[in-house]
Chain A
Amino acid sequence: MNDDSRPAAVRAQNVVKSFGSGDTQVTVLKGIDLDVYLGELLLLVGESGGGKTTLLSAIAGILDIDDGQIEVLGVPLSGLPSSKRTSFRGQTMGFIYQQFNLLPALTAAENVAVPLFIQKMRRPEALRRARAMLERVGLADRTEFVPKNLSGGQQQRVAIARALINEPRLLICDEPTAALDGPNGQKIMQLLREVGRSPDRCVIVVTHDSRIFHFGDRMANLTDGRIVNIEHIPQEGTA
């Protein structure tokens, strides 16, 4: 699957992951080979239960794999102890979830600042940078709102700001538009597209939403634990 000369942000080789044991053992990932390059937005699609979220968790270093190897930005994740992996994740990755996973008690600015709090940045500075980031995603007038007072699209934009505040090189998105209506989903994907175009970053998006396929650079189809095909998506004006 290594069909590109660009540097790989993520390199998965023969990744195998099973759950359960004995007769009830289910192999979810059956030898995945996948490279994701800097400067691209990769869409990961496929039927439900095909292993997309499992692969995403493995790439994030959240889930241990049974066999194979995953390198993120040149670092083999399976070789890192759990605490180092957690720290590496905090420094290099950003996450966007289907359900946003904002902390309900915190304001939008505080939510965005959480990754900076984790890095032990002082609160006033963290909040200043969070407000600036919220301005970038078009929420300058919502910085002190708690999530319940924001619309779904606004909440997802807060989640994106939170994911970007640490300037992560790898952005992992799980169904980022599933809880949004069409126009809001398009806006969110536009934002992610801009992030993905940055030459030192890449974005992986798991999605079922065919309305956003055109935002991707490539689309990998994961079915029954295997990548069945990867296709380049023609960009507007380049097809």
Chain B
Amino acid sequence: MNYVALKMLFGDRAKYLMLLCGLSFAVMLIVQQGSIFWGLMMWSQASITNVNVPIWVTDPGIAQVDEVKPIADTAVDRVRSIDGVEWAVPLYKGLLRARLPNGEYHQVTLTGLESATLIGRPAEVLEGRFEDIRQPDAVVLDQWAVERMGGPTVVTVGTIFELNDKLARIVAIAKTQKSFTNIPVVYTTYERAIHYVPRERRTLSYVLAKAKDEIPVEDVIRRIQSQTGLGAFTAEGFGMKTIVWVLKNTGIGINFGTTILLGFIVGMAIAGQTFYLFTVENLRQFGALKAMGTSTLTLARMIILQAFTVGLTGYGVGVGLATLFGFLAAHGGNLPFAETWQLLLLVLVALLAICIVSASVSIIKLVRLEPGIVFR
């Protein structure tokens, strides 16, 4: 009877397409909104992603990566002295104003890397050589900085501008993940970063570290916390801390969460109701099958097969459309869009759950269906 069930499903093309459109739209809505939301969250921890080190050490009261709480310069050596730490380097991170040759001012995030190792540098360089950052007055911009500051005609390799009235010469353009605030990022060496910023008693923003291979990162983090009194986090933990902070302290959590929740409820309601209506419209046919001797169990199996077939097809089309959207609209990292397997799995589970629920409601109706309906 599976054949009959599938013919019933596909046979009425208009009804089937309506059903498929409803489900595909629902899935697309949820996946697209969910991916944009998660993409936005990824952007919020771009500073961590771009630096790409396993351990971050800083003030224990820090709330998120962009809220810098300077610590004493001695922290680097204190972290290095802890058993299990393979290496530890300083990182400067702070906001500064840049003055371009055309007289325009732009706020930038100045990132100072240890000059010997350049740990924390972006992996990909679009133009120039990152190592040239060691030259006098040399800085490296990320591609978003070029875009925000007026494009390659205004800012390119070789351009000289001012940072706090001091000269800065662009030697390379690096590729990074866009950040939530989209403030241009300027890389330089740690020592030069200190030279650019106004004098402060404490200038060290973070200590970046790595645990020795044979020692679990969590153990090293616990040792750093207990022996230095500083806050130490894994990159993932610090990223999640930042995301939680964004969700709690900005309207994004509530606003986007509401949108996604509504999208989810509306999408799933469309999916469930559409399938339920499909079954109700076919009740007479099911009644005829029941009168002819089809058991209720067989009819239930037919409905479940129909629900899962259309559900999985709608899921495939919906995910395909959302992915296409992501590919076209968010290509090149201009829009936040992170379609994760966890989201796809969640939507699949939810969709199958709604298929089961709507199929169950239909089956209950079918169990109560009096085959005598066919005589009316």
Q: Which residues of A contact B (CB under 8 A)?
A: 53, 56-57, 60, 62-63, 83, 86-91, 93, 95, 97-99, 101, 103-106, 110, 114-115, 117-118, 123, 146, 174
Contacts and interface: CB of A to CB of B under 8 A. Distances in A.
A34 to B, nearest CB: 18
11 contacts: A53-B375, A53-B376, A62-B291, A63-B370, A83-B296, A86-B296, A89-B293, A95-B374, A101-B374, A110-B4, A110-B7
B345 interface: no
A118 B293 contact: yes
B313 interface: no
Contact of A101 (B3, B8, B285, B294): B285
A56 B291 CA distance: 12
Contacts of A90: 292-294
Contacts of B330: none
A205 to B, nearest CB: 13
A103 B293 contact: no
Contacts of B370: 62-63
Contacts of A91: 293
B11 interface: yes
A87 B11 CA distance: 27
Contacts, number: 84
A95 B7 contact: no
B371 interface: yes
Identify which of A101, A115, A123 gathers the most chain B CB atoms within 10 Å of its CB. A101
Given A101-B288, A110-B7, A117-B1, A57 B12 contact: no
Interface string B282-293: 001101111111
Contacts of A123: 3
Contacts of B285: 101, 103-104
A114 B10 contact: no
A61 to B, nearest CB: 9
Contacts of B372: 53, 57, 62-63
A45 to B, nearest CB: 16
Given A101-B285, A103-B285, A115 B375 contact: no
Contacts of B284: 101
A117 B301 CA distance: 14
Contacts of B371: 57, 60, 62
Contacts of A99: 374
A43 B290 CA distance: 25
Nearest to B285: A103
A170 B305 CA distance: 32
Contacts of A115: 292-293
A83 B293 CA distance: 9
B228 interface: no
Interface in B1-24: 1, 3-4, 7-8, 10-12
A163 to B, nearest CB: 9
Contacts of B375: 53, 56-57, 97-98, 174
A101 to B, nearest CB: 4
Contacts of B81: none
Identify which of A97, A103, A105, A106 gathers the most chain B CB atoms within 10 Å of its CB. A105
B7 A114 contact: no
Contact of A117 (B3, B11, B290): B3
B368 to A, nearest CB: 12
Interface in B298-319: 298
Contacts of B290: 86
Contacts of B164: none
A126 to B, nearest CB: 10
B227 interface: no
Nearest to A102: B288
Contacts of A63: 370, 372
Nearest to A174: B375
Contacts of B11: 103-106, 146
B340 interface: no
Contact of B295 (A53, A56, A83): A83
A166 B292 CA distance: 10
Given A97-B288, A105-B11, 10 more contacts: A83-B295, A83-B296, A86-B294, A95-B291, A99-B374, A101-B374, A103-B11, A104-B11, A110-B4, A118-B289
A106 B291 CA distance: 18
Contacts of B293: 86-91, 93, 115, 118
B88 to A, nearest CB: 70
A48 to B, nearest CB: 12
Contacts of B10: 105
B374 A97 contact: yes
A53 B291 CA distance: 14
Nearest to B295: A86
Interface string B155-179: 0000000000000000000000000
